[in-house]
Amino acid sequence: MLVPVADVSSSDLLLDISENSTRHIQGSIAIPYDNFMRDGKFMSVPEITQILGDAGISRNDSIVIYGECMPCGGGPAPATFVYFMMKVLGHERVRVLDGTIEDWAAAGHPIASQSMIRPSVNYTPMFTADPMASYDYVKSGKARIVDARSSHEFNLSTIPGAINIPSDSVVFNGTIKKETALKEVFANLSKDEPVVVFTSTGIKASVVWFSLKMLGYDAKLYSWQDWLANQAK
């Protein structure tokens, strides 16, 4: 799921999901993560697959996602959110770079001012809802609910029964913490119990979801927006 800079191979296709990036890993494709979103939610599957196909990405490609949202404070959450999206589309060979473009450059690998443009292809998804939690599933009590928003937001209001594990608790110096540190963060969670992680839109929750999946938890992603929308019905 998480690939060190040294382990990226020439057969991997690098996908830069940063916003307004002016420097890219040489040979990478650039699609800002918010291109896949509308009103804080992912676009429809046909719209997303059109974007991917137009960029020359097929479901057979081995993809390594990297990049940050600097206006949001940096960090890997946008990359793990796109990873989540790719898993929903049924993409099997997809990983997240363990590091930033600066780490890539520090390792002596080339950087370019322009991203790569590939001929368009057809992206054929195999949609699966498995990584996503529904409102009914969250409300059922079958899973442990993790609120990955800040402690301030959690104390103001949360899903009943949720515990607070802020998204920044799984990140150190802009990258996901190592396994030993993550085990400490998740010490109060059992692998025998499914977990649902949420933040406002799910973007920052995705880095917690990703970390849980790396450790072998049965984890799903959710959003506070969906909870509020269903509560209002």
Three-state secondary structure call for residue 230: helix
Domain ranges of the chain: 2-112, 135-231
Same topology between domain 2-112 and domain 135-231: yes
Quote the CA–CA distance of 86 and 207 in Å, as a whole number: 14
Supply the mean pLDDT for the chain: 96
Nearest to 167 by CA among 204, 213, 123: 204
For the full predicted model, state whether its pTM sits above 0.85.
yes
pLDDT higher than threshold 80 for residue 74: no
Find all residues with CB under 8 Å of 84, minimum gap 6, and list them: 131, 202, 206, 209, 210, 221
DSSP symbols for 99-165 = S-HHHHHHTT--EESS---------------TTBPPHHHHHHT-SEEEE-S-HHHHHH---TT-EE-
Band (pLDDT 50/70/90 cuts) for residue 70 is low
In this structure, whether the domain defined by 135-231 belongs to CATH 3.10.110.10 is answered with: no
Q: Which pLDDT does position 40 carry in this prediction? A: 86
CATH superfamily of 2-112: Rhodanese-like domain (3.40.250.10)
Share of the chain above pLDDT 70, in %: 98
